[in-house]
Structure 1
Amino acid sequence: MSTRAAPQRRSAQARRRTAVRRRRLAAVGLLALIGALLVVFLPSMKDAAREITLPLHHEDIIRQQAADKHLDAALIAGVIYAESKFSDQTSHAGARGLMQITPDTADAIAQRTGGVNFKQEDLADPQVNISYGAWYLRHMLDRYGDNVVLALAAYNAGQGNVDKWIARAREQERDLTVKDIPFAETRAYIDRVLQARDDYRSTYPDELGL
């Protein structure tokens, strides 16, 4: 064996070990950097994802209206989610704002609540819209004995339809249930609101004062 070859092999092995150590240190450093970035950005990423999947705005108004109208704040949030996903908009039927109040319903609520200066444009104001929507929801609950399903059915399909469905069920000597509702849209609406209500209860208990 050449006396010169042995030191060369040892030198090559040392370089390989040094390269391996450097790669390991680089990998450890990269993992540490990723961990630090996750610590910094993961909460905001979670908030951003939650904002997309289950948005919540105007929670101060929702809490205030829930207390004033003796309503579940999560139920108000669930209705807003089902109606507009917290985005101010106007439907093809003319319903406006976060809780999608129709012009006729808004005028009737204004008369019942003393809103003598009310204008349809006011429905774009979250305070007015949520106040009117909460009032109507409370009115429906009072009308149907605090039955949330019937109140939501009336909110979506109108009192006249719900009254007809109840009368039909009574003719058959039973109570009206979701499956008895002939409108698929209304059945889906009720399910959507109730699921959203439960989601808001579990996701935003502090924000909604629950």
Structure 2
Amino acid sequence: MSTKRNKISNARRLLFFAALIAFIVGMFFLLRELLFPKAYVDIVDKYSQQYGISKDFVFAVINTESGFDTEATSDVGARGLMQIMNDAFLWSRKHLDVIHTDITYDDLFKPEYNVEYGCCMLGYYFDKYQSYELSAAAYHAGMNKVDEWISDGIINPDNFDAGDIPSKSTRHYVNKVITAYKAYGFLYD
């Protein structure tokens, strides 16, 4: 009788642990999708490759900027998934190698165009600074501001520390994007 009870008890324990593991795995995937979602994967893959930047970095910027809301508009007028400002849009059209040059600022609510322009800018910043941290800082504060911080010796691109960024909002933004970038790499790769 005791042996039968032990077998039943062992079977219950095994069943409990199997259910617990299934629950933990399920929660992992649920939390991953809630906190670090991936959408527009084909578009992000296409333009991150074209402009030579990590797709995980692009997902991190989109997640931080808009939470994947294509209709997002900031208080200062930034639009779409990657929250592109009109002046950045116009500068990109004039100075960078974007494919779609016949679109308007209103078209930036369309994921294809928004991600193309955002990746083009991020790729330009990455080519210039060779750092995702400095690229994120330039995306948030503007390239001229980052160049000013470098020329004034406030930040050192060869030994960069986000804590050296004088703007609290840009420092917070860079930390948030880089944390998300690392999370995307860990959770999906």
Q: Does 2:77 match 1:97?
A: no
Tell me if the contact between 2:53 and 2:126 (Cα under 8 Å) persists in the aligned partners. Answer: no
Please tell me the residue identity of whatever aligns with 1:187: R
Q: Which residue of 1 aligns with 2:142?
A: 158
Q: Out of 97, 110, 130, which is 2:115 matched to?
A: 130
Q: CA deviation at 1:109?
A: 1.8
Q: Does 2:188 match 1:175?
A: no
1:26-57: per-residue Cα shift (whole Å, max 9, x none)? xxxxx9x9999989988766544332211110
Stretches of structure 2 lacking an aligned partner (at least 5 in a row): 1-12
Please provide the CA RMSD for this pair: 2.7
Helix, strand or coil at the partner of 1:67 = helix
Q: Out of 56, 59, 68, which is 2:38 matched to?
A: 56
Q: CA deviation at 1:169?
A: 0.5
Q: Does 2:188 match 1:200?
A: no
Matches of 2:165 and 2:20 in 1, distance apart? Answer: 48
1:122-172: per-residue Cα shift (whole Å, max 9, x none)? 11111111111000001111222x1222221111001121111111117xx
Please tell me the residue identity of whatever aligns with 2:174: I
TM-score (norm 2): 0.78
Please tell me the residue identity of whatever aligns with 1:203: L
Identity between Structure 1 and Structure 2 (%): 32
Q: Which residue of 1 aligns with 2:47?
A: 65
Q: Which residue of 2 aligns with 1:188?
A: 172
Q: Which residue of 2 aligns with 1:5?
A: none
TM-score (norm 1): 0.71
Matches of 1:44 and 1:148 in 2, distance apart? Answer: 32
Helix, strand or coil at the partner of 1:161 = helix
Matches of 1:87 and 1:35 in 2, distance apart? Answer: 39
Change (3 A) 1:124 1:38: farther
Matches of 2:43 and 2:133 in 1, distance apart? Answer: 24
